[in-house]
Structure 1
Amino acid sequence: MFDFNLLDLIAGIPGLIIAMVIHEYAHARVAVALGDRTPLLMGRLTLNPAAHIDPVGLIMLFLVRFGWAKPVIIDPRNFKKPRRDDILV
């Protein structure tokens, strides 16, 4: 469970980073499509990893194999149907 294989870690990190970036980009894209321009104004509607990677979350991913990306900030008041659209995002 806690075996540390450097080769596996190095081989898996690019895929995890790509997955985290696409995941957060999708949150931003859906929010903008539903009427909230907050992610666009904050520069989060991009596939640039620098906009989505949280340094602490990335370090934790290396150390304990559990990490996170920066959450996309949204303002549900900008949605036409705030309750539904917040769930969709």
Structure 2
Amino acid sequence: MSAKPKPPTALPSQGDLRGVLAYNVRLLRVQKEWSQEDLAMECDLDRTYVSAVERSRWNISLSNIERLALALDTEPWRLLHPPPTP
């Protein structure tokens, strides 16, 4: 059994859209207590792709943002909305 997923620790820069997406995807995935593999299976994406998205390594298509949002039970635009700053 794998370790329990941990939420992101640092807020992304407001101007870093890939970072915002990565933060939101990981946060929502952890709230569902899913592994990256679980999310990938729900979206019909590769686990390494989900990992790369969560690390801000790849640009992601709108279609795949939509797939992630559907699996995470959220609106696609919410994945691109910066989290509130403390």
The two structures have a TM-score, normalised by structure 1, of 0.33
**Greater helix fraction, Structure 1 or Structure 2:** 1
The two structures have a TM-score, normalised by structure 2, of 0.34
State the structure with more CA Rg: 1
